[in-house]
Amino acid sequence: MSDFLSMYSIQHWLESCPQGYLANTDFGHAPGEKEPDLLVSNELMRTETIRTTVQLVMGERCALAASSGLINAAPDEASKRFLATQTLDEARHVEIFTQRLYDLGVKKTDLEDTLKQYVNPNLVKFAEILLEKVDKKDFVAGVVGQNVILEGMAFSVFEMMQALSREMNPKFANTLAGTIADERRHVGFGENRIGSLIREFPEKKAEIERMQRDMSYYMLATFADSFRGNPMAAEMDRLEAEAGATRHHANYQGVDLAQMPPEQMEQVLADTVLKEFKIRLARIGIEYQTPQRAA
Ligand SMILES: [Fe+2]
Ligand SMILES: [Fe+2]
């Protein structure tokens, strides 16, 4: 427990996060960095970038509601304090991704309408399953849903977006870097805190496995909606060919995302997330349940 106390203390959070990798950042990126012109001036690219960013804002709003809601459900003081730091991390994520919408030209007065217009209904369902556990003050299920499932997913999605942005959009790649470091800490807490609680309450296993199966179902459906028929890759190809530019590269999980069609990217992402789920769930004594759906 002493390792746990120091690893997840507010002191550790202050030193590593606000005074560490976030020092001197401006909404998560270096001051002065801007979205590339292309994303702001090309209407198709702008719309699709707004759509993607809306999913990030909605996912982070769910994480904010879950981590703050779990504070009062936590059985021990160290977990409450960690969740307080996580609550601030998630609020920051909501803020920086919302700022990105403004940077892409969304008016502040149009924010809620824009979120409503573009949010993926499958992502809303995914969030509802988790928040139902939080509302019931079910700490064990809530932490598995939030710190293992939601953040395991977010982590891999952010890493994929970072790979896609590294060459084309350093501002967004930098914004994601701090977020990924935060999510890494959150996922670590989930694994460390929950394993022993599941051993203590084995009767909770079946319900948690059901929640994981349902959340995985809506996650895979969200991925399918996001990649299939996404016109962005084709538009990039067209623009690069028109400019006679050499193709850019985006390395992720040992493949080059810039060279593959969206359907194949979906497969790479789904495979990566599910592989990680299986490893993390096994560590806390939960057996991964395949959702009833051929992805
Ligand atoms: Fe987050
Ligand atoms: Fe998080």
| 126-167 per-position pLDDT tens digit | 999 999 999 999 999 999 999 999 999 999 999 999 999 998
Domain that holds residue 234: 2-283
In a domain, 295, yes or no: no
Element (H, E) at 252: strand 251-252
Could you tell me the pLDDT band of residue 1, with boundaries at 50, 70 and 90?
very low
d(CA 148, CA 212): 9
Span from the CA of 93 to the centroid of ligand 2 (angstroms): 8
For the full predicted model, state whether its pTM sits above 0.85: yes
- Which residues lie at CB < 5 A from ion ligand 2? 63, 151, 183, 186
d(CA 291, CA 295): 9
Span from the CA of 171 to the centroid of ligand 2 (angstroms): 20
Span from the CA of 293 to the centroid of ligand 2 (angstroms): 27
Could you tell me the pLDDT band of residue 294, with boundaries at 50, 70 and 90?
very low
In a domain, 245, yes or no: yes
Per the prediction, the chain carries an average pLDDT of: 92
Higher pLDDT, 196 or 40: 40
Span from the CA of 203 to the centroid of ligand 2 (angstroms): 27
Residues 6+ apart with CB under 8 A from 1: 78
Span from the CA of 124 to the centroid of ligand 1 (angstroms): 16
Q: Looking at the CA of 59, which ligand is closest?
A: 1
In a domain, 292, yes or no: no
Q: Is the CB of residue 161 less than 8 Å from the CB of residue 272? A: no
d(CA 100, CA 53): 7
In a domain, 290, yes or no: no
Q: Looking at the CA of 93, which ligand is closest?
A: 1
Span from the CA of 195 to the centroid of ligand 2 (angstroms): 19
Dihedral sign of CA atoms 38, 39, 44, 46 in order: negative
Average pLDDT over residues 225-233: 85
Rounded to whole angstroms, the maximal C-alpha distance in the chain is: 62
Span from the CA of 67 to the centroid of ligand 2 (angstroms): 8
In a domain, 221, yes or no: yes
Q: Is the CB of residue 130 less than 8 Å from the CB of residue 150? A: yes
In a domain, 293, yes or no: no
Span from the CA of 131 to the centroid of ligand 2 (angstroms): 15
CATH code for the domain in which residue 132 is found: 1.10.620.20
In a domain, 291, yes or no: no
In a domain, 51, yes or no: yes
d(CA 190, CA 70): 12
Span from the CA of 240 to the centroid of ligand 1 (angstroms): 33
Q: How many domains does the chain have?
A: 1
Q: Looking at the CA of 90, which ligand is closest?
A: 1
Lowest mean pLDDT among 100-114, 148-162, 250-264: 250-264
Closest to 6 (Cα-Cα) out of 185, 197, 195: 185
d(CA 128, CA 104): 28
